[in-house]
């Protein structure tokens, strides 16, 4: 597990958390939000360790050696609760009820109890209502940390009872510090919206080679380029519809990111706007469960003729 000192590129968030720890003014609910793959979960776990530690360091990091830290590391700390969805299912009602029961018990070790929800996007409406009951009258010394991509994925009733902490996309400099400085990283970093997780995913998908291949084809024959993409979305160890949809979304997001950069670099804004809208429509259709192959064909046929200009900018 990482400590605050090892977390990179989230200085604002860490400053707020350290101040709360130092001043002993901890909220009963926190909402960590920002894109995937930038350190929210890691920070939530480091924060939980600091809250539970009895001998924090000068930088408000957990000491790693006190009885609370030792027990947390071995998985035996009774004041720490990790509430995660199992498999593809959302968090179950029984998990919320069990958490409420555990939090209401008098803590045996130390004073505090911390519950971390690393996938708070996957709390359903009924479960959120049950959580709200706990948040409205939080057991003394208890805290919940919700981690989500977007604040609006959590019901307003839960949000309003939490202190929100924004996590920012990682800068190109921080990414270069963390990842080996190779050509792939240099090309992928600006396409991945400052997310380490996304860089890894795009690399695993072979997106750079795919972009090169599509680039060579798409101006002349957008349909043929679409077929190349469709085949690429089927690659990998898993080839089910959900995986294809997820890969297609990642690929269209990359194209969207290129349009943003094209405009930022002073490229043809009208052309970029047209492509941007088509790509957003494609992503919306994927969310509406339109078949990924159909979406790729429709999108590439529309933006294909405009593609070369995107690249030259």
- Name which position in 26, 27, 66, 132 contacts Zn ion (CB under 5 A): 66
In the bound state with Zn ion, the residue whose beta carbon lies nearer, of 62 and 254, is 62
End-to-end CA distance of the chain: 42
Strand ranges across the sheet with 113-117 = 80-82, 113-117, 142-148, 29-33, 163-166
103 binds Zn ion (CB under 5 A): no
For the bound state, the minimum distance from the C-beta of residue 24 to Zn ion, rounded and expressed in Å, comes to: 16
Closest approach of Zn ion to the CB of residue 62, in Å: 5
Contact 38, 169 (CB under 8 A): yes
Question: Nearest approach, Cβ of 113 to Zn ion (angstroms)?
Answer: 16
Tokens of residue 10, six digits: 């989230």
Please list, in sequence order, all residues whose beta carbon lies within 8 angstroms of the beta carbon of residue 8, skipping any fewer than 6 positions away: 39, 170, 174, 177, 178
> Where is 113: in which H helix or E strand?
strand 113-117
What would the two tokens of residue 154 be? 């959590």
Shortest spacing between CB 169 and Zn ion, in angstroms: 31
- Helices then strands, each counted (H, E), the chain: 15, 5
* Distance of closest approach, residue 43 Cβ to Zn ion, in angstroms: 17
Instruction: Round to whole Å and give the CA distance between 228 and 220.
Output: 14
Nearer of residues 14 and 53 to Zn ion, judged by Cβ? 53
Q: Is 255 left (phi over 0), alpha (psi -120 to 50) or beta?
A: alpha
Of 53-61, 174-182, 250-258, 282-290, the window that binds Zn ion (rule: CB under 5 A) is 53-61
Is residue 116 close enough to count as binding Zn ion by CB under 5 A? no
Q: Is the Cβ of residue 49 or residue 297 nearer to Zn ion in the bound state? A: 49
Binding residues among 245-304 for Zn ion as defined by CB under 5 A: none
- Kindly state whether residue 69 participates in binding Zn ion, applying the rule CB under 5 A: yes
> Which segment (58-66, 107-115, 121-129, 175-183) binds Zn ion by CB under 5 A?
58-66
Query: Which of 26, 27, 63, 290 lies at the binding interface for Zn ion (CB under 5 A)?
Result: 63
Answer yes or no whether residue 57 interacts with Zn ion by CB under 5 A.
Answer: no
Contact 295, 248 (CB under 8 A): yes
Residue 53 makes contact with Zn ion by CB under 5 A: yes
For 179-235, where are the alpha helices, taking DSSP H only? 183-188, 196-205, 207-218, 222-233
CB of 276 to Zn ion, least distance (A): 49
As a whole number of angstroms, the distance between CA 116 and CA 238 comes to 30
Residues near Zn ion (CB under 5 A), total: 6
- Show the binding pattern over residues 133-172: x = contacts Zn ion (CB under 5 A), - = does not: ----------------------------------------
Give the binding range for Zn ion (CB under 5 A) out of 48-56, 115-123, 152-160, 245-253: 48-56
The tokens for 214 are 């599509």
* Binding segment (CB under 5 A) for Zn ion, from list 61-69, 177-185, 227-235, 290-298: 61-69
Minimal CA–CA distance to 118: which of 157, 81, 173? Answer: 81
Site of interaction with Zn ion (CB under 5 A): 53, 55, 62-63, 66, 69
């Amino acid at each position: 597990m990482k400590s605050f000192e090892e977390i990179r590129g989230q200085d604002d968030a860490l400053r707020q958390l350290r101040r709360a720890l130092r001043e002993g003014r901890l909220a009963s609910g926190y909402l960590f939000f920002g894109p995937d793959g930038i350190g929210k979960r890691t920070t939530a776990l480091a924060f939980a360790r600091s809250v539970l530690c009895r001998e924090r360091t000068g930088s408000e990091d957990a000491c790693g050696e006190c009885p609370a830290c030792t027990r947390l590391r071995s998985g035996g700390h009774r004041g720490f609760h990790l509430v995660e969805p199992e498999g593809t299912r959302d968090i179950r009602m029984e998990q919320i009820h069990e958490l409420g029961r555990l939090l209401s018990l008098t803590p045996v070790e130390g004073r505090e109890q911390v519950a971390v929800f690393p996938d708070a996007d996957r709390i359903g409406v009924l479960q959120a209502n049950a959580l709200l009951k706990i948040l409205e009258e939080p057991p003394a010394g208890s805290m919940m940390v919700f981690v989500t991509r977007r604040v609006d994925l959590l019901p307003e009733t839960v949000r309003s009872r939490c202190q929100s902490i924004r996590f920012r996309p990682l800068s190109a400099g921080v990414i270069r510090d963390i990842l080996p400085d190779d050509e792939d990283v240099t090309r992928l970093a600006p396409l991945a919206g400052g997310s380490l997780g996304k860089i890894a995913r795009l690399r695993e998908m072979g997106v750079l080679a795919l972009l090169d291949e599509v680039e060579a084809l798409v101006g002349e024959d957008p349909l043929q380029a679409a077929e190349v993409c469709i085949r690429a979305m089927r690659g990998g160890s898993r080839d089910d519809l959900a995986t294809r949809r997820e890969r297609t979304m990642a690929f269209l997001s990359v194209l969207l990111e290129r349009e943003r950069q094209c405009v930022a670099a002073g490229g043809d804004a009208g052309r970029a706007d047209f492509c941007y809208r088509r790509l957003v429509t494609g992503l919306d259709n994927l969310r509406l469960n339109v078949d990924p192959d159909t979406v790729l064909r429709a999108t590439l046929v529309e933006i294909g003729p405009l593609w070369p200009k995107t690249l030259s900018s």
